Structure 1
């Protein structure tokens, strides 16, 4: 799986729930809230002041290591 910043948090979490740890490291602790279903990674990063490119990079590394 390749993660892109226009994907929703829910899309990534549904692909692998273990990605929650990475989101939490970037200050996104409310992964069960209604916004997680429709909010893109980019929107969530803007709301939480997180580095979007770094988050996407770490998520892609996570999925690459699974293969």
Structure 2
């Protein structure tokens, strides 16, 4: 998979890199199994949780092996 972007769906990220779950949990996404949260883009989740999208993307991409 290419680098994770603000338009990447969270469910897709969790499917290919479940090790990213703690990063999402750390921003307050405690319902990662819910259809609504899995269907959100990274940007949408950041807007809802008041998180800087670029900072979150940096953390996520550091954990996704294909994105290194």
**TM-score, normalising length from structure 2?**
0.84
Name the SS of the counterpart of 2:64 in structure 1: helix
Hey, what does 1:10 align to over in structure 2?
Answer: 11
Structure 1 residue 18: deviation in Å? 1.2
Which stretches of structure 1, 4 residues or longer, exceed 3 Å deviation after superposition?
Answer: none
Give the deviation of 1:27 after TM superposition.
1.5
Q: Which runs of 5+ in 2 are unaligned?
A: none
Match of 1:59 in 2: 60
Q: Partner of 1:19 in structure 2?
A: 20
- Residues 24-63 of structure 1 correspond to what in structure 2 (within 5 A)? 24-63=25-64
The count of aligned residue pairs is 67
Give how far 1:3 is off. Answer: 0.7
